[in-house]
Amino acid sequence: MKIAQLLTVLVFVLTVAAGLAQPLTGYQINGHVRGLSDQAKIYLIDGGKGKVLDSAVVRHERFAFSGTVPEPVFVYLYAGKGPVSLKLTDILLDNRTLAVEAPKPVYDSVVVSGSDIDRLWKEWWRKDQQIGYQRIRIKKVYETLLAKNDTANARPLKQIVDEMTAHRIDLLKTYVKQYHTSAVGAVLPTLCALGKYLTRADYLEMYQMLSVNWQQSRFGREILQEAGRQTP
């Protein structure tokens, strides 16, 4: 056998061996939330299906989850179940290692680190919420003026409210377009709280922005379902 053929065979064998030696990848969530009681149960819940994916027991304010997901999934992390349950955080989860940390078991105190896709959707969420809160305050003034039949002052506020809604939609589409090859771009159209302001054309536009792989994902299918619910 020629040397070139021997080298080709050797490279193939080493490649296969390396592949077999690699461990199965999956997600690992390491939690440290101060104030959690020992033996309390933490639940990892599929946000789209409302289904418990896993549970863990708290020991010395720490808990851990490990497993695999076939594709990224939006999940909730809850302490306890039922009416006394406490939502700790939301996570855009894929197969990587994450840290969940907080000085107290309060939603706004919990920090998730180790995931760029989780960081980016939360970056969008903070920007969207900032606009949304301002819009709510202006809308309340608008409705008060309208109740007093002060249409002259109410009319310009209505225009501002509509412009802020349009700004939120533009921000959403900007993120979908920028991260069209990522779970970030795929999850936002159905994760956002803009459903009643989005048209079928809006959903289809965002769907078309996504790469083929993400169009065929669970998130992509959910976008098409939302588009189907809207009137033309």
For residues 117 and 184, the answer to whether their CB atoms sit within 8 Å is yes
- pLDDT score for 23: 42
123 CA to centre of own chain: 10
For 96-143, write each residue's pLDDT tens digit: 999 999 999 999 999 999 999 999 999 999 999 999 999 999 999 999
- pLDDT score for 6: 40
Residue 58 φ then ψ, to 5°: -75, 135
Retrieve residue 27's tokens.
């997600």
Burial of residue 231, with CB atoms counted within 10 A of its CB: 0-12 exposed, 13-18 middle, 19 or more buried: exposed
- Domain residue limits, the chain: 22-114, 118-229
What is the CATH number assigned to the segment(s) 22-114?
Answer: 2.60.40.10
Confidence tier at 3 by pLDDT (50, 70, 90): very low
Greater model confidence, 162 or 232: 162
The residue with tokens 């202006």 is: 138
Residue 183's CB is within 10 A of a number of other CB atoms, namely 25
pLDDT above 70 covers what percent of the chain? 90
For residues 205 and 173, the answer to whether their CB atoms sit within 8 Å is yes
* Strand pairing class (41-46; 62-67): unpaired
* Strand pairing class (111-113; 73-79): unpaired
For 158-175, write each residue's pLDDT tens digit: 999 999 999 999 999 999
Residue 181's CB is within 10 A of a number of other CB atoms, namely 13
The number of CA neighbours under 13 Å toward the Cβ of 179 is: 20
Q: At what angle do helices 151-178 and 183-191 cross, to 10 degrees?
A: 150
The pTM is what? 0.84
Query: What's at 73, amino acid-wise?
Result: V
For 181-202, write each residue's pLDDT tens digit: 999 999 999 999 999 999 999 9
- Answer whether residue 15 shows pLDDT above 50: no
- Answer whether residue 1 shows pLDDT above 80: no
Q: Cα separation of 205 and 134, whole Å?
A: 27
- pLDDT score for 14: 36
- Answer whether residue 13 shows pLDDT above 80: no
For 42-52, write each residue's pLDDT tens digit: 999 999 899 99
- pLDDT score for 32: 98
- pLDDT score for 82: 85
Q: Which of 55, 179, 173 is nearest to 117 (CA)?
A: 179
Write down the mean pLDDT value for the chain.
90
